[in-house]
Amino acid sequence: MKTAIFPGTFDPFTIGHFDVVQRALQIFDKVIIATIGDNQKKKTLFSSEARAAMIKQAMQPYAGKVEVVIYDTMTVDFCRAHHSNFIIRGIRTVGDYNFESIMAQANQKLSPVIDTVFFPSRPEHAYICSSVVRDILLYQGDVSAFIPKGMEIAAISCAKK
């Protein structure tokens, strides 16, 4: 069974992230969505538990093929622990590619058996990023066009105050 790891903060999980998982499932038997825990330097709007709950809710149609886990280790160590040699990443822009390419090379240096598979964003999702969704949420805007169906209520009700 080929398992891929999709690591990220996912604050919150967007339709772009959802699309990457759907596409990855055409290649991999299982995708583990690994959301970064709360002890990171990155300030998040949602707790790691809220993020994981929203992702699980969004991924219900893929139960058995998608697992959601909170992690706080290096991604390559997480891959080893879950017997995966693949990291998947979505790429929206050239800037994303530059950053993700550097991370992929560093991860491969740390563990030569781990490869990163890039999924370019579909044009209709290229402008969607978690930081834009957070800003809309902070001003009580409608985010339904930016996040997977079924997350609207969870996203609004789980936000940290």
* Residue from 42, 43, 83, 160 carrying the catalytic annotation: 42
* Residue from 23, 92, 101, 122 carrying the catalytic annotation: 92
**48 tagged catalytic:** no
**92 tagged catalytic:** yes
Name residue, tokens 């149609």.
Answer: 61
* Residue from 48, 84, 121, 130 carrying the catalytic annotation: 130
**134 tagged catalytic:** no
In sequence order, what are the residues at sequence separation of 6 or more whose Cβ sits closer than 8 angstroms to the Cβ of residue 4? 24, 27, 28, 30, 31, 32, 84, 86, 87, 88, 117
> Which strands make up the sheet holding 115-120, listed edge to edge?
66-71, 30-36, 3-8, 86-91, 115-120
Q: Are strands 66-71 and 30-36 parallel, antiparallel or unpaired?
A: parallel
Q: What is the CA radius of gyration of the chain?
A: 15
**157 tagged catalytic:** no
Residues designated as active site: 17, 42, 92, 130
